[in-house]
Chains A and B, each alone.
Chain A
Amino acid sequence: MDLIHPGSKEEVCEALRAASERGTRVSIVGGRTHADKGDPCEVDLEISTSGLDRVIAYDPAEMLAVVEGGMPMGHLRRILAEGGQEWPVDASDDATVGGTIATAPSSHRRLRMGPLRDTVVEIVLVTGDGRLVRSGARTVKSVAGYDVHRLATGSLGTLGAIVQAAIKVRPLPDARRVVRTSEGGMLAGRRILDAVPLPSSVVATPERIEIALEGWPEEIDEQTAAIKDATGVVEVLESGSVRGSEAIAGTTVVEVAVPPSKLEVVLDEEPSWLALMGVGIAWVGLPDPGERLTALRGRVAEAGGIAPVIRGPGGLGDAPVPALEVHRRLKAAFDPAGILAPGRFWGGL
């Protein structure tokens, strides 16, 4: 398979225009850190965004950063930290900003920080046929026209290549702390969630609950006291982070997304999981993508949710896609030749 590294947005446009004309199937690749998400698909060419790694604009006073799609997350983190800020997203340093937006992973801090999709305010997208399309605005809020950037976020590269994005960033907290309890399970998790004001995350596992706290030092002391009141023995870690999906063992890790109160019944028979309390996301580890995955997806479907695999084999699953006709028309408009990772997305798109 061929791999090319365009050095500019225009070169990405040219490459995709040519691919569309020839019917060359293309995958847009960033750091390949989230490549397992999506149904299997065959392509003839990979277009890497590694040549698009510039900072276009960053002024901490605006709490916005505009960077090119190939910017590695590690690089972005360093730049933002110099401005005393962060983009509250969990992706490894090798991931790219564009790839992270295209795969839209859930952060363990989603309870407090919200989903990634609400931090992306502008995207420059190269469509499958090589048109450069900008959507949104470089302001913290904007209602001007149709938000194409909303469609691109989480689209797994099937509508275009994200070559630039403006993201909302936030001040780094004065203090951070992780508190770990000795008691695990969903019930304990719910008790902590109800007892502690405004935690960044309450992550439950069968063995323990981990709570991420951040803010002013006196604030996290107040939260810690509330945790101690609600549960028995706790371990306080002044550094380090809550364990996320990377901590789950198994060849296949599934990201369950259901209404928060349904997590309990969905996870009932599973031995290995990590649940984001109050959010409705759980990462479940499975030894193989076979019957266990089918059974899990069955329970998730009953709960009105979805269960795509984010690590290992297993794909997105067969949850019904509402308004499939609308999806098909969108795909046909943004990728008329159908060359962008055909079949990778929901609904066979």
Chain B
Amino acid sequence: MQDLHAARRELEEALGADAVLSDPLALRLYARDASMVEGSAGLVVFPLSTDDVVACVRAAAAHHLSVVPRGSGTGLTGASTPIGDALVVVTSKMNRILEIRTEDRLAWVEPGLFNLDLGTALRGTGFTYMPDPSSQQVSSIGGNVATNAGGPHCLAYGVTSAHVLALDLVLSDGTVTRVGSEGPEAAGYDLRGVVVGSEGTLGLVTAACVRLTPEPPAIRTMLMGFAKVEDCAATVSAIIAGGVVPAALEMMDQGIVRAVEAFTHAGYPTDAAAVLLVEVDGIASGVAAEAREVEEAARGHEVGSIRVAASPEERALLWKGRKSAFGAIAQIAPHYHLHDCVVPRTKLVEILTGVYAICRREGITVTNVFHAGDGNLHPLLSFDRSEPGVLERVLRSSEEIVRLCVDAGGSLSGEHGIGLEKRDFMPLVFTDDDLAAQACVRSAFDPSGRMNPQKVLPDGARCGDFAVAAAGTDTTGIGDAAGIGTTIPEGTWI
């Protein structure tokens, strides 16, 4: 059975005493990520190398611990919340840039590297790393890979998956393997494509080979204010329908604009019901043409104000407004629950109206800041946990919002993932057979079920009459092998 004491001794010997934490404060700190679910950590380790990670995985196997990978802990769904005294493997000390090769348009980085630090290191090379989640100052590349992170610029450039060429991966049995290739194609199935977005359940990434993109020669950033939310959303549709795909197309409602403006003083129009931040990039003459089309679309929908960033500094300020949104809302209430549904972009108005109605009914303050071009909504439910009964109302609203999006043909998550918070919603979008097939994928990588159990898939999703079992491999099912029964409650909602 699980032996934390022996695991600690073994890890201290392999990694050094400094690399292993087991005091109550550390265990408490690492018992959660940025979501609302708290679990329980058994041990916390800070590997420095692939060998260290292999030692972690082997020790976990020997002493029956499950393994929970963790980057910066900015995840919003509980994917790195440990359950059942798991071994938390924190990659934040593996944060080097190993190699930048612009001639091959790639860079090798360690998983703990902050997203923004890669961008900074690339300055002056003529290349950049495109995915830009709002958390990029502190979120790690490894975490971005685990959640297939997006960001405003993924509208034109694609999510993290389109920017990852290869990953070095430690499997649950301690095998080190490489999925993908430095080249454009690899031999075999696209395992790289499956590992990206798998929320640390298939293995531990110890190095990532990311794709570098030439910096666009010209950029134009525009901020538009609308008196009606409907007109703002209709402008989004009109831009796309007109054959223009901007680099970014971000929408913010009045509640969030006011909070952001008080925080950043970026000059956002606080009297507008909704604001659209549009960026077009590319070749100078093409950028001018696209900007013209975008402005025409906005004027066709009663835009109130259009501000074009006149300098790189002004552009940075406009983006600061957008990217500070989640910090700024602390002014509204001390706690928030953030959604991440994706809907067909033609249904944005309908869904937004529904979200406002749900939250009004439950008496929850909601603000919206989201990737409108992708149809990726981020309703932010603000509340004060000390208010009796508020959590129940938040969770009830959340479930209703999820159902609303799914009924409209949407997906549960655009870029944050499923983790613990949304795994029980998975049957809303997938059949038993779909989930069984997904469980097969998981078992193919991790027959032991020890790698980040109880995340992503709901209880009962099994590989069914899985043929591997017939081939003689142990497939007792996700979460069983580490002595963690699937009936154990999935952490505490805080």
Residues of A within 8 A of B (CB): 59-63, 84, 106, 110, 114-115, 117-118, 127, 131-135, 137-148, 150-151, 153-155, 159, 170-172, 174, 197-198, 215-216, 218-219, 221-223, 255, 257-262, 278-281, 303-306, 316-317, 319-330, 332-334, 336, 345-347
How distant is the Cα of A61 from the Cα of B182 in the complex, in angstroms? Answer: 35
The contact sample of 5 A-B pairs, CB cut-off 8 A, is A142-B412, A145-B438, A197-B217, A304-B182, A323-B171
Report if B342 contacts A (CB, 8 A). yes
> Would you list the 9 A-B pairs with minimal beta carbon distance, nearest first?
A150-B193, A336-B467, A219-B286, A171-B243, A137-B411, A333-B440, A329-B444, A142-B411, A218-B285
How distant is the Cα of A192 from the Cα of B178 in the complex, in angstroms? Answer: 33
Per-position 1/0 for B433-475, Cβ under 8 A of A: 1111110111111010000000011000001011110110100
Q: Which residues of A contact B39 (CB under 8 A)?
A: none
Residue of B nearest to A319 (CB): B187
Question: Which stretch in B89-97, B158-166, B253-261, B483-491 binds the other chain?
Answer: B158-166
Q: Which residues of B contact A133 (CB under 8 A)?
A: 433-434, 437
Report if B414 contacts A (CB, 8 A). yes
Report if B69 contacts A (CB, 8 A). no
Is the CB–CB distance between A329 and B468 below 8 Å?
yes
Q: Which residues of B contact A324 (CB under 8 A)?
A: 188
Q: Which residues of A contact B147 (CB under 8 A)?
A: 143
How many A-B residue contacts, CB cutoff 8 Å? 268
Is the CB–CB distance between A143 and B197 below 8 Å?
yes
Is the CB–CB distance between B418 and A222 below 8 Å?
no
Is the CB–CB distance between B470 and A259 below 8 Å?
no
How distant is the Cα of A278 from the Cα of B213 in the complex, in angstroms? Answer: 10
Is the CB–CB distance between B191 and A259 below 8 Å?
no
Knowing A127-B437, A215-B286, the reply to whether A154 touches B189 (Cβ < 8 A) is yes
Knowing A280-B183, A321-B188, A322-B177, the reply to whether A222 touches B342 (Cβ < 8 A) is no
- In the complex, chain B residues 406-425 whose Cβ is within 8 Å of any chain A Cβ: 409-418, 422
Q: Which residues of A contact B430 (CB under 8 A)?
A: 134, 144-145
Is the CB–CB distance between A306 and B183 below 8 Å?
yes
Is the CB–CB distance between A144 and B411 below 8 Å?
yes
Nearest-neighbour CB distance to chain A for B449, whole angstroms, equals: 13
Nearest-neighbour CB distance to chain A for B33, whole angstroms, equals: 15
How distant is the Cα of A327 from the Cα of B171 in the complex, in angstroms? Answer: 13
Q: Which residues of A contact B354 (CB under 8 A)?
A: none
Question: Which stretch in B100-108, B117-125, B324-332 binds the other chain?
Answer: B100-108
Is the CB–CB distance between A60 and B241 below 8 Å?
yes
How distant is the Cα of A329 from the Cα of B104 in the complex, in angstroms? Answer: 33
How distant is the Cα of A349 from the Cα of B284 in the complex, in angstroms? Answer: 49
Is the CB–CB distance between A139 and B282 below 8 Å?
no
Nearest-neighbour CB distance to chain A for B242, whole angstroms, equals: 8
Residue of B nearest to A122 (CB): B411
Nearest-neighbour CB distance to chain A for B116, whole angstroms, equals: 21
Q: Which residues of A contact B178 (CB under 8 A)?
A: 322
Is the CB–CB distance between A332 and B190 below 8 Å?
no
- Total number of B residues with any Cβ neighbor in A under 8 Å: 97
Is the CB–CB distance between B411 and A218 below 8 Å?
no
Is the CB–CB distance between A329 and B447 below 8 Å?
yes
Cβ-neighbour of A137 out of B169, B240, B429 (below 8 A): B429
Is the CB–CB distance between B441 and A146 below 8 Å?
yes
Q: Which residues of A contact B169 (CB under 8 A)?
A: 323
Q: Which residues of B contact A257 (CB under 8 A)?
A: 181, 183-185
Knowing A151-B441, A332-B468, the reply to whether A141 touches B376 (Cβ < 8 A) is yes
Knowing A133-B437, A138-B409, A333-B463, the reply to whether A145 touches B418 (Cβ < 8 A) is yes
Knowing A143-B418, A323-B191, A326-B191, the reply to whether A61 touches B241 (Cβ < 8 A) is yes
Is the CB–CB distance between A144 and B289 below 8 Å?
no
Q: Which residues of B contact A319 (CB under 8 A)?
A: 187
Is the CB–CB distance between A333 and B468 below 8 Å?
yes
Q: Which of A142, A215, A320 has the most CB of B within 10 A?
A: A142
Is the CB–CB distance between A323 and B179 below 8 Å?
yes
Knowing A61-B237, A141-B374, A145-B430, the reply to whether A258 touches B188 (Cβ < 8 A) is no
Q: Which residues of A contact B436 (CB under 8 A)?
A: 131
Nearest-neighbour CB distance to chain B for A205, whole angstroms, equals: 19
Q: Which residues of B contact A303 (CB under 8 A)?
A: 183
How distant is the Cα of A330 from the Cα of B186 in the complex, in angstroms? Answer: 17
Is the CB–CB distance between B194 and A140 below 8 Å?
no
Question: Which stretch in B14-22, B224-232, B343-351, B389-397 binds the other chain?
Answer: B343-351
How distant is the Cα of A61 from the Cα of B414 in the complex, in angstroms? Answer: 19
Q: Which residues of B contact A135 (CB under 8 A)?
A: 434, 437-438
Residue of A nearest to B416 (CB): A143
Report if B358 contacts A (CB, 8 A). no
Nearest-neighbour CB distance to chain B for A299, whole angstroms, equals: 13
How distant is the Cα of A120 from the Cα of B436 in the complex, in angstroms? Answer: 21
Q: Which residues of A contact B286 (CB under 8 A)?
A: 215-216, 218-219, 222
Given contacts A59-B344, A139-B409, A322-B177, 19 further A-B contacts (CB under 8 A): A62-B344, A114-B162, A115-B184, A117-B193, A137-B429, A139-B375, A143-B414, A143-B415, A145-B430, A146-B194, A198-B214, A216-B286, A221-B285, A278-B105, A323-B191, A326-B444, A330-B189, A332-B471, A333-B468
